[in-house]
Amino acid sequence: MAPEVDPEINPLIWKAIELKRLLRFWYKDRERIVEPHDYGIHKGVVKLFGYQVAGSSSQKLPNWRWAEQDLISGLELLDRTFAGGRPTKSGKHQKWDKLFIRVKSADTGKK
């Protein structure tokens, strides 16, 4: 059975990625403020991959974070924007089963 996209969460994530706007949400009892970069199906689960810039974390911030769609609550689109795609240490992107949307690059405007 294919994973389902949450109709309440999906449009906000999509809009945030298209407009390069930060998202605030709760994930596993912690508030996260992230730059949303990728949204899709990863290892059979609908997930958001983003760069967490603020909020609560058990690890050092800022840093890259996964968020399973089903564990996201209180999703809010913020007015604050970000530049776009960030370079990765390896220069490679995550491998997705199906990528719905990826933020455009900060420098070139390319996906």
Read off the pLDDT of residues 19-70 as tens digits, 9 standing for 90 and up: 999 999 999 999 999 999 999 999 999 999 999 999 998 889 999 999 999 9
| Higher pLDDT, residue 2 or 80 | 80
Q: How many domains does the chain have?
A: 1
Dihedral angle of Cα 89, 94, 99, 101, to the nearest 10 degrees:
-20
pLDDT at 92 (0 to 100) = 64
Rounded distance between C-alpha atoms, residue 95 and residue 31, angstroms: 26
For 79-96, the pLDDT digits (tens) are 999 999 887 665 566 789
Question: Is the confidence at residue 1, as pLDDT, over 80?
Answer: no
How long is the chain? 111
* Burial degree of 96 (CB within 10 A; 0-12, 13-18, 19+): middle
In a domain, 109, yes or no: no
Q: What integer pLDDT is reported at residue 50 of this predicted model?
A: 96
Answer whether 27's CB lies under 8 Å from 33's CB: no
Q: How far out from the chain centre does Cα 53 lie?
A: 12
Structural domain span for residue 23? 10-102
Give domain status of residue 14, yes or no. Answer: yes
Q: Which two tokens stand for residue 12?
A: 């906000």
Cα distance between residue 76 and residue 104, in whole Å: 21
End-to-end CA distance of the chain: 29
32 lies in some domain: yes
**pLDDT value for 29:** 92
Instruction: Decide if 110 is inside a domain.
Output: no
Does the residue 111 lie in any domain?
Answer: no
